[in-house]
Amino acid sequence: MESEKLSEDEFEQALEDLIRMGLVESYEQDGETYYRATDPTLEIGGI
């Protein structure tokens, strides 16, 4: 089964939803924004 790619807007909305649900948090380091899962059992690699 092929995975469907999200548009940039869809990706941003999904990321905002995950942050709002408390599953992902963002942090800044060296002027860059990074994201990490707040639940160590959740794997979000690639973003």
End-to-end CA distance of the chain: 22
Q: What is the pLDDT of residue 19?
A: 93
The pTM (predicted TM-score) of the whole model is: 0.64
Looking at residue 47, its pLDDT comes to 52
pLDDT of residue 31: 96
Quote the pLDDT of residue 44.
63
From first to last of its 47 residues, the chain has per-residue pLDDT tens of 577 899 999 999 999 999 999 999 999 999 999 999 887 776 666 55
Q: Are 20 and 27 in contact (CB under 8 A)?
A: no
d(CA 3, CA 17): 20
- Please calculate the CA angle 39-15-46 and round it to the nearest 5 degrees: 70
The confidence score (pLDDT) of residue 26 equals 92
